[in-house]
């Protein structure tokens, strides 16, 4: 089956909730954390701009000086704060600075949009049930790094992505929303990840609104 097959567009999102049913009366303040490209961050910003998510983004925190997310923030007029993990003695010291920064901007929810660092109880306890993570698998399958490669190595026929509330155990916590993506016979890590990312972009703004309705 070719990569251009109609099955590429097939996905199953659960829960299947329209953006209209997730409209928020009070705008959210979102603190975004990103380490790399920042495409999920930009998708959230676009959803806000298009009126699909009643929110604002007062700050983006990034830990990699070369992260493209910082350039996206500049283009979107979002203040970006570099907290380079190499400047801190340990993860807890970094998390203390992250907490201080997020509180400075008075955020309601914290969105880990490709944050490639393990966090500690310092951050989790400061924002209980208010930290959202997105992961490129159908959790609890394929936790950790190289989730797409793990799926290919396991020869599963369906994988996808998950938005969940963060807890101390890696890639765990209550699931907010998932999208399933079929694995095609000729998939590579690059082609499969590209299709998963399409679904990440679909469900992340919805999951943020859902989290606000159920946990704020």
Phi-psi group of 132: left, alpha or beta (phi > 0 → left; psi -120 to 50 → alpha; rest → beta): beta
Considering only CA atoms, give the Rg of the chain: 17
3-state secondary structure of 44: helix
Residue 119, annotated ligand binder?
A: yes
The answer for residues whose C-beta is within 8 angstroms of residue 213's C-beta and 6 or more apart is: 22, 24
Residue 116, annotated ligand binder?
A: yes
Residue 198 burial (CB < 10 Å; 0-12/13-18/19+)? middle
Distance CA 169, CA 188 (A): 29
Residue 145, annotated ligand binder?
A: no
The DSSP secondary structure of 76-136, one letter per residue, reads: HT--EEE--GGGSSSHHHHHHHHHHHHHHTT-SEEEESS--S---HHHHHHSTT-EEEEES
Residue 51, annotated ligand binder?
A: no
Residue 38, annotated ligand binder?
A: yes
Alpha carbon 181 to its chain's center: 17
Residue 39, annotated ligand binder?
A: yes
Count, residues in the chain: 216
Residue 91, annotated ligand binder?
A: yes
- Catalytic residue positions, numbered: 135
Binding annotation: 38-40, 91, 116-119, 133
Binding annotation for (6R)-10-formyltetrahydrofolate: 91, 116-119, 133
């Amino acid at each position: 089956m070719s990569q251009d097959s109609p099955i590429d567009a097939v996905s199953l999102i659960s829960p299947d909730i329209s953006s209209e049913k997730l409209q928020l009366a009070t705008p959210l303040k979102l603190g975004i954390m990103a380490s790399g490209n920042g495409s999920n961050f930009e998708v959230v910003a676009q959803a806000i701009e298009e009126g699909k998510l009643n929110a604002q983004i007062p700050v983006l925190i990034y830990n990699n000086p070369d992260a493209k997310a910082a350039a996206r923030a500049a283009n979107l007029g979002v203040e970006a704060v570099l907290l380079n993990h190499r400047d801190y003695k340990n993860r807890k010291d970094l998390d203390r600075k992250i907490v201080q920064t997020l509180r400075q901007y008075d955020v309601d929810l914290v969105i880990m949009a490709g944050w490639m660092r393990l966090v500690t109880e310092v951050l989790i306890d400061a924002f209980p049930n208010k930290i959202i993570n997105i992961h490129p698998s159908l959790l609890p399958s394929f936790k950790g790094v190289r989730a797409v490669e793990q799926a290919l190595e396991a020869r599963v026929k369906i994988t996808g992505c998950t938005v969940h509330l963060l807890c101390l155990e890696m890639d765990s916590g209550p699931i907010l929303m998932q999208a399933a993506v079929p694995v095609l016979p000729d998939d590579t890590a690059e082609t499969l990840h590209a299709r998963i990312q399409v679904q990440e972009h679909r469900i992340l703004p919805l999951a943020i609104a859902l989290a606000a309705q159920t946990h704020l």
